[in-house]
Amino acid sequence: MRDKPCPPNGVQAALIALTRSTFLKGGVTRKAMADLVRSAGPGVIDTVFRGARFRVHLGDNLTERNLLLDPRTEREELDFLIAATPPGGVFVDCGANIGMYALVVAAARPLARILAIEPVPLIGERLQTNLALCGFANVAICPQAAGDEEGEIAFIRDTHNLGESHIDPAGTLKVPVRPLAAILRSHGIAAVDSLKIDIEGYEDRALAPFFRDWPQAGWPRALVFEHVHPDQWRTDCMALLQNLGYRSQGVTEYNTLLRRE
């Protein structure tokens, strides 16, 4: 499938254009429009989003649906990270999903180094496909989970929204897990300019040991983290980051944007 183009048919293209240019791209109607696009033709469609190419699966992943139908999706977060990633810098996308952040930053910063960390195999396959479609040479993919241990960990794959697949002892999907610092060292990274982390309530298990073990001079200056699962944290991520000198630069529906001077 990777090498075979997947353009929308005429009806789908018209529905996509209509949705993108009107209120129909809003969260309330976006799912209905995605279902309509899917019913009108192929359920897998190639698209371009902010300079990066994606093969979108309409049925099972919110991120893919959003980037197809809403050109403004997560604009504040993406603009923030692009601005914080200098030419020749390093951006780490922890919980990369199908590469929306990693590939958009790579498109905007072709001289930067991008590491996309995504442990779920099916999502990782889509990420690999999207990277091949883009042809970017500055992106590496790590098929591991970031956590507070080294070994193997159980995942539950969410079949309704793959982006909500998460670590759970009851899961039957086993994936390798490593501390974030160990992952970075294995890829030859010594300092990080910007970091996005969205790992479904496991953010604290990745961030707390990272900041404990990573040299302060190499800490990211800019950080975007998903704040919607605080009940699952063992360590309060916001308090941790504030104590380390990070200050809020904005809050969106799902994410907090932080900078450390």
Structure tokens belonging to residue 120: 């779920």
30 inside domain: yes
Element (H, E) at 257: strand 255-259
Distance CA 65, CA 20 (A): 12
Alpha helices, DSSP H only, in the chain?
A: 10-21, 27-39, 62-69, 75-84, 100-108, 121-134, 180-186, 203-213, 237-243
Q: In 3-state terms, what secondary structure has residue 187?
A: coil
First CA to last CA distance, the chain:
45
Give the pLDDT confidence score for residue 146 in this predicted structure: 94
199 inside domain: yes
Give the pLDDT confidence score for residue 156 in this predicted structure: 79
3 inside domain: no
Residue 167 and residue 47 in one domain: no
122 inside domain: yes
Residue 61 and residue 113 in one domain: no
Q: In 3-state terms, what secondary structure has residue 201?
A: coil
Residue 145 and residue 215 in one domain: yes
pTM value surpassing 0.75: yes
Residue 52 and residue 94 in one domain: no
Distance CA 15, CA 216 (A): 49
Residue 141 and residue 19 in one domain: no
* CATH code, domain with 145: 3.40.50.150
Nearest-10 crossing angle of helices 27-39, 10-21: 170
Q: In 3-state terms, what secondary structure has residue 93?
A: strand
Contact between 177 and 145 (Cβ < 8 Å)? yes
Contact between 209 and 181 (Cβ < 8 Å)? yes
Give the pLDDT confidence score for residue 178 in this predicted structure: 95
Count of domains in the chain? 2
Residue 47 and residue 100 in one domain: no
1 inside domain: no
Mean pLDDT by 10 residues, the chain (261 residues): 81 96 90 92 95 92 92 96 97 96 98 96 94 97 94 80 71 89 97 94 92 96 91 90 96 95 82
Residue 197 and residue 221 in one domain: yes
158 inside domain: yes
Give the pLDDT confidence score for residue 212 in this predicted structure: 95
Contact between 141 and 98 (Cβ < 8 Å)? no
Residue 18 and residue 85 in one domain: no
Residue position matching structure tokens 């990782």: 124
The domain of 47 spans: 10-69
Give the pLDDT confidence score for residue 1 in this predicted structure: 45
How many helices and strands (H and E) does the chain possess?
A: 9, 13
Contact between 225 and 203 (Cβ < 8 Å)? yes
Residue 93 and residue 41 in one domain: no
Which residue, 28, 53, 69, sits at the end of a domain? 69
214 inside domain: yes
Residue 20 and residue 132 in one domain: no
Residue 57 and residue 166 in one domain: no
Give the pLDDT confidence score for residue 165 in this predicted structure: 66
Which residue, 33, 53, 69, sits at the end of a domain? 69
Residue 49 and residue 161 in one domain: no
Which residue, 49, 69, 89, sits at the end of a domain? 69
2 inside domain: no
* φ/ψ (deg, to 5) at 109: -130, 70
Contact between 230 and 236 (Cβ < 8 Å)? yes
Contact between 204 and 238 (Cβ < 8 Å)? no
